[in-house]
Amino acid sequence: MNNKPIILKSAIVDVRFGENVKIVEPVNMYGCNIGNNVFIGPFVEIQKNVDIGNNCKIQSHSFICEMVTIGNNCFISHGAMFINDTFSTGAPAGGNRVLWKKTKIGNFVSIGTNATILPVEICNNVVIGAGAVVTKNITESGIYVGNPAKKIKNIF
């Protein structure tokens, strides 16, 4: 057996960039919108139909799937993962986008290293701790940690 694999390369395709965007390659970005003054670290994937606001920092090894909106002045730490498929049928939705759900992140949100964000809405002025798993909407500013993420402290 001497089959040759199909090799795909990471790329930046059909991306709308604001001013002063800095990217450290390799990255895989396609069909998304990136605001002004955004930093994107290496080994990041940002899929189509993602909007990232101004003054955001996306650190290395983060995955931002389709249907995610991130507000302004947000920090996404290393290895943060966004999910749009909740396996609502008991199996992966695959290409059935009807089953996918949206995520909306407000302004001034910091998401810690290795946090997992399910399809939720997170209001402004929130800190998500490292390793947290956000399974429900967050409607009050504060600091959230754990699995599932729970509020432990006010920040305003």
Q: Which amino acid is at 21?
A: V
60 in a structural domain: yes
CATH number of the domain that 37 lies in? 2.160.10.10
10-residue block means of pLDDT along the chain (156 residues)? 91 98 98 98 98 98 98 98 93 89 98 98 98 98 98 92
Helix (H/G/I), strand (E/B), else coil: 75: strand
55 in a structural domain: yes
Range of the domain at 18: 12-88+96-153
Cβ-based burial of 21 (10 A; exposed 0-12, middle 13-18, buried ≥19):
middle
5 in a structural domain: no
139 in a structural domain: yes
> In angstroms, what CA-CA distances link 94 with 14, 50, 84, 104?
23, 18, 11, 21
Whole-number pLDDT of residue 1: 78
Query: How far apart are the C-alpha atoms of 131 and 138, rounded to whole Å?
Result: 16
1 in a structural domain: no
Total structural domains in the chain? 1
| 24: DSSP letter | -
| 138: DSSP letter | B
2 in a structural domain: no
Tokens of 10: 């990471």
